[in-house]
Amino acid sequence: GGSFVEVRGLRVGYKVPHGVVQAIDGVDLTIDRGEALGIVGESGCGKSTLGLGLLRLLPSNATTSVDTFRVGDTDVAGLSQAAFRREVRWKRVSMVFQSAMNSLNPVRRVGEQVADAYRLHHPQASKREVQARVDRLFELVDIPRARQRNYAHEYSGGMRQRAVIALSLVCDPDVVIADEATTALDVVVQNQILDALADLRTELGIALIVISHDIGVISHTCDRVAVMYAGQVVESGAVADVLASPRHPYTASLMAALPRLTGPRFRPVSLPGSPPDLADPPTACRFAPRCPIAADICTDVPPAFDPDHRWPARCHFAGDERLRQLGTERTS
């Protein structure tokens, strides 16, 4: 394809005492340069596993396979571990880890931590070059220069998160994966972080993968969204399309939890039941046991994901009329 990043057939299984947890089961993604792709889905659906799998940072009980992983002209899937570490991790693709803002070193000034990270990857850099680069990174994430001298505990949560984003940028990556980058923060600060990420796209042309359980966060930052359920993408397309008329019942139920700014008011109704055991998922549609419009075919035949639709959905009843009312209850 013509996309800047292309991932096809990603699979990750975790070996556990009772079998294999298939946390990612055949995920495809494409992202253009400077584009933001959102990955949304409830806890345990495999979002972090996806990011860590792409960066080859999974624990040793994980087995990963991928048919295609290309960044620009680089066939990343074909690289040895050593070449991947040398050429791709942090340099082409970097990641802001879930809860990373609490992992800053408490006894080293934040500016020095960013300088350390830069020096690690650029051992030949002069003192002036390092300082210039650190200044630029702090500027990019909107932290005043004077604050480089502070320790992490002197930062607010939002500043710590922005410092962690600065760290993800030390090698000038093409793609940044931001895993729940705003989850622990209040709404005002969340929006500041999301705006900082958006600036990186426009100023540096970085492609973003924004991972969040909150579809509101995705709608604020992303051009396109992939909705994940139980290790699979169940719907993907332009944010505007998917949010305006979700085609998969799971997406519709996520949408129902979003506060509406206009139109009739709906009280969100949380989705009954829980996601399947990924060591033994339903063999046909994984969402069927929780789906309000499921029929016999849903437990008998795996639904296809039709990539020819403008926003495909993995559902036998994709785009069904009944989805409009799904999971919502009028309050007035």
| Nearest residue to 155 (alpha-carbon basis) of 194, 185, 132 | 185
Asked whether position 47 contacts ligand ATP by CB under 6 A, the answer is yes
Residue type, 139: E
Calpha distance 12→25 (Å, rounded): 7
Residues with Cβ within 8 Å of 21's Cβ and at least 6 positions away in sequence, in order, are 13, 14, 278, 279
Residue 149 C-beta: closest distance to Mg ion, Å: 33
Chain residue at closest Cβ approach to Mg ion? 48
C-alpha dist (Å) from residue 188 to 94, 121, 191? 26, 34, 5
Nearest approach, Cβ of 134 to ligand ATP (angstroms)?
30
Which helix (H) or strand (E) segment holds residue 129: the answer is helix 127-140
State in angstroms the smallest separation of the CB of 196 from ligand ATP: 21
Q: Residue 28: which of 55, 52, 54, 48 has the closest Cα? A: 54
Question: Which of residues 45 and 143 has its CB atom nearest to Mg ion in the complex?
Answer: 45
Output 43 or 124, the one with its CB closest to ligand ATP. 43
4 binds ligand ATP (CB under 6 A): no
Q: By C-alpha distance, which of 239, 169, 168 is closest to 204?
A: 169
Q: Does 213 bind ligand ATP (CB under 6 A)?
A: yes
CB of 280 to ligand ATP, least distance (A): 12
Among 4, 7, 30, 48, binds ligand ATP (CB under 6 A): 48
Using CB under 5 A as the binding rule, whether residue 49 contacts Mg ion is answered as: no
Does residue 87 sit in helix, strand or coil? helix
Q: Which stretch binds ligand ATP (CB under 6 A): 14-22, 76-84, 134-142, 239-247?
A: 14-22
Please choose which of Mg ion, ligand ATP, none residue 169 contacts, taking the beta carbon within 5 to 8 angstroms, the exact cut-off set by kind: none
Q: Minimal distance in Å, beta carbon 228 to Mg ion? A: 11
Give 271-309 as a DSSP string: PPS-PPPTTS--SS-TTGGG-TT--HHHHHSPPPB-TTS
Considering the complex, state which of residue 51 and residue 111 has its C-beta at the smaller distance from ligand ATP.
51
Which of 4, 36, 41, 48 contacts Mg ion by CB under 5 A? Answer: 48
- Give the binding range for ligand ATP (CB under 6 A) out of 45-53, 110-118, 187-195, 239-247: 45-53
Query: Residues with Cβ < 8 Å from 40, sequence gap 6 or more?
Result: 47, 212, 213, 214, 215, 218, 225, 226, 227, 228, 254
Write out the residues near ligand ATP by the rule CB under 6 A.
14, 16, 21, 23, 43-49, 59, 61, 98, 213, 278
